[in-house]
Amino acid sequence: MAEQIRRDLAEIIRDDLKDPRMGFLSLTEVRLSRDLSQCIVFCSILEQDKQQESMDTLNRAAGFLRTQVAKRMRSRTVPNIKFILDTSLEKGAAMDALIQKAISGDGDVAGDSDNEKDET
């Protein structure tokens, strides 16, 4: 059901939510509560300067989006929707940069220790 909600929301946001404040976004994950009453949608927004404004716009439009999802789904209940900014891509890129920096630093250190061994 979470995947169906993600697909429906992506289509609705793309086709029906015409707001110039929205940045380019991707819905990365949908989590549903056990009783299907709450839905948390994680969004990744490409433009850094539009992230907060896009999240505010999505959360203000949550009622409209829920109504549109309800029209598409054949379910007795449709969960309340809350949007949260997904920063895992930025964190992953930062972690990758740290790893690359550590690897390049190890090469310098390993090269220095090899030279010390050769001198003795």
d(CA 34, CA 15): 30
CATH classification number, 2-86, choose in 3.30.70.360, 3.30.1950.10, 3.30.300.20, 3.40.50.970: 3.30.300.20
Residue 118: per-residue pLDDT: 54
User: 62: Cβ–Cβ under 8 A, 6 or more apart, which residues?
Assistant: 80, 81, 82, 83
pLDDT in 10s for each residue of the chain, 120 residues: 889 999 999 999 888 888 777 778 889 999 999 998 999 999 988 888 888 898 999 999 999 999 999 998 888 888 999 999 988 777 777 888 888 888 887 766 555 555 555 555
Residue 80: per-residue pLDDT: 93
Q: What does pTM read for this prediction?
A: 0.72
Instruction: Give the residues across from 30 on adjacent strands.
Output: 41
Residue 117: per-residue pLDDT: 54
Say how many C-beta atoms besides its own lie within 10 A of residue 55's C-beta.
18
d(CA 71, CA 65): 10
- Parse the chain into domains and list their residue ranges: 2-86, 88-120
